[in-house]
Amino acid sequence: METTANAFLLVPSAFLCVLCALCVEKSGLVAEEQKSFPPPGPPQDEATLGVGIQRTMTLLATSTPQQRHAVRILFYGQSITEQEWWKQVSDGLRRRFPNADLQIENRAIGGHSSQILCRTAEHDLYPFYPDLLIFHVYGGNKEYEQIIANTRRRTTAEILMQKDHVTRWPPEQPDREKDKGMWWDALMNNQFLPEIAKKYGCALADIRTPWLAYLKTNNLEPKALLRDGVHLNDQGNFLLAALVQRQLVHRPELPSDSWRGLVRTYEIGKDVQWQDGSLALEFDGNRVDAIAANEATGAAAARVLLDGKKPAEFPELYALTRPSATQAGFWPAILQVSAQKPLLLEDWTARITESNDEGTQFKFDVSGSQTGPDGSGSSAENFVSNSGRTVIEKSDWRLNAVYQLTKKKVPAGFQIKWKAVPLFVDEYQPPKSDDPARESVTTLAQGLSNGKHRLELAGAVPIRAIRVYTPPVR
């Protein structure tokens, strides 16, 4: 089947997401004011619920007041993922698993199809390193797969992929020429998404089938759950939250082979020993954490070595944050900033020195708080700073895209900011903890090549365990 790199242009719902940039288990998923909405019918295939996300669900379900497991969940996608349903899912998880130490974030960006989101994911997704990624985006299948593949290569995150909700009654056999949008919807949801989920071992939430059943059961037209051509109204948010939430179930009877080895915890004194004030561990993975002992408060620090070097000497252990917003205050002004040379920990600024109103032709200076002035560039060319610590592709600027939507001009002296931040520590000092049930975790290094490494801690400190993360795709 021939596919297109311009699938975004074929999907009317994805275009409406650009416009928007302007504008269960039976416990309490439903907010009080939403109980008047009829619930969805029972799932057609209960055997699929929870498959592919059981590491996360096990951490949640086995948390107790005495042992609160840390669980990081990231919602990512575009404007549909920004809508209210994600908060309902989050609130439901907190009610169902009150003992879990949950960190939940939503970094979705309205109007960013997969062709664009694959650029911003470098700042938003991989450095966050979630335990569970809940993901929905419109756009091209190749870029969609790129995001999934990178997540499985660079993190141990389980992924709950979502099929699209229903915006129009689907024809039985969409015609590619007469109705390109519906043809692409069918191809993406019925072929590409199932293939990607199977290839990378992801969970796939079939939103479409129960959505259609809900409409028919309740004698509703698709627009009854929408506030425009694609975005959800209150009832649509309720339904999507319910359909996602019922995927998030603990099923201890399922095989654990696919996830049991992704994250390993080495207990000090059992799996690894202190010898003469030093601790060494050979491990296989791309991230290693230290978990402090309960009596760690005020302890001295230990020097950290990886493969005989300080973590700061590994260029891959630095991350760049998402660049700040455009002149209209939404969307990152630059989709992606990268580097050719090793980074320093510093703040960066790109300052527009001159520009036409539309943001199609402009010049800029770049400077770092440690590096200092680092070169000038223009919208006409890809930019590499003098130090090599800043690289910006000309196609990643969003000033004109925002002008096209808002007619808001690029002001003189407009600044875009980002930071180079560490995914490591060179010295480990056990953090203070006021809650002995919550793990005191410090990431020693994240972003290593996914392979064999040697960790050394020089200087005995109160430490309970070392935790190693091994992404499933090499």
**Confidence at residue 296, expressed as pLDDT on a 0 to 100 scale:** 55
Q: What is the DSSP string of 176-222?
A: TTT-HHHHHHHHIIIIIHHHHHHHHT-EEE--HHHHHHHHHHTT--G
Go through the domains of the chain in sequence order and give each one's CATH number. Answer: 7-257 (3.40.50.1110), 261-314+424-469 (2.60.120.260), 318-422 (no CATH)
**Confidence at residue 115, expressed as pLDDT on a 0 to 100 scale:** 98
What is the arithmetic mean of pLDDT over 72-86? 98
Higher pLDDT, 44 or 123: 123
- Residue 104, phi then psi, degrees to nearest 5: -120, 130
225 touches 235 (CB < 8 A): yes
- Residue 216, phi then psi, degrees to nearest 5: -70, -45
pLDDT band for 176, please (50, 70, 90 cuts): confident
| Burial group, residue 76, by CB count within 10 angstroms (0-12, 13-18, 19+) | buried
- Which residues face 136 on adjacent strands? 77
Taking only Cα atoms into account, the Rg of the chain, rounded to an integer number of angstroms, comes to 24
Strands 415-422 and 346-355, how do they pair? antiparallel
pLDDT band for 75, please (50, 70, 90 cuts): very high
Mean pLDDT, the chain, rounded, equals 92
**pLDDT tens digits along 109-168:** 999 999 999 999 999 999 999 999 999 999 999 999 999 999 999 999 999 999 999 999
**Confidence at residue 300, expressed as pLDDT on a 0 to 100 scale:** 84
pLDDT band for 428, please (50, 70, 90 cuts): very high
pLDDT band for 294, please (50, 70, 90 cuts): confident
Higher pLDDT, 8 or 298: 298
- Here the tokens at position 43 are 């799932």
**Confidence at residue 377, expressed as pLDDT on a 0 to 100 scale:** 98
pLDDT band for 416, please (50, 70, 90 cuts): very high
Query: How many CB atoms are located within 10 Å of the residue 116 CB?
Result: 23
Q: What is the DSSP string of 304-365?
A: EEETTB-GGG-GGGEEEPPP-B-TTSSSBSBS--B-SS---SEEEEEEEEEE-TTSSSEEEE
pLDDT over 70 at 249, yes or no? yes
Higher pLDDT, 14 or 87: 87
**pLDDT tens digits along 188-237:** 999 999 999 999 999 999 999 999 999 999 999 999 999 999 999 999 99
CA-nearest of 356, 362, 420 to 123 is 420
The amino acid at 123: H
Percent of residues, the chain, with pLDDT higher than 70? 92
* Weakest mean pLDDT among 48-57, 122-131, 293-302, 411-420: 293-302
Query: How many CB atoms are located within 10 Å of the residue 130 CB?
Result: 24
Q: What is the DSSP string of 51-101?
A: TT-HHHHHHHHT--SS-B-EEEEEEEESHHHHSTHHHHHHHHHHHH-TTSE
CA–CA separation, 454 and 97 (whole Å)? 36
**pLDDT tens digits along 346-393:** 999 999 999 999 999 999 999 999 999 999 999 999 999 999 999 999
CA-nearest of 52, 45, 50, 7 to 196 is 52
pLDDT over 50 at 21, yes or no? no
- Here the tokens at position 434 are 């006021």
- Here the tokens at position 93 are 């998880």
CA–CA separation, 83 and 124 (whole Å)? 18
| H helix or E strand, kind and range, residue 114 | helix 114-124
85 touches 232 (CB < 8 A): yes
- Which residues face 287 on adjacent strands? 446, 469
Higher pLDDT, 30 or 238: 238
**pLDDT tens digits along 391-414:** 999 999 999 999 999 999 999 899
- Here the tokens at position 41 are 């019918």
Chain centre to alpha carbon of residue 302:
32
**Confidence at residue 398, expressed as pLDDT on a 0 to 100 scale:** 97
pLDDT over 70 at 33, yes or no? no
**Confidence at residue 35, expressed as pLDDT on a 0 to 100 scale:** 59
Contacts of the segment 244-247: beta carbons below 8 A, 24+ positions apart: 244/85, 244/89, 244/134, 244/160, 244/162, 244/205, 244/207, 245/24, 245/25, 245/29, 245/88, 245/89, 245/92, 245/93, 246/24, 246/25, 246/43, 246/49, 247/49, 247/50, 247/53, 247/160, 247/203, 247/205
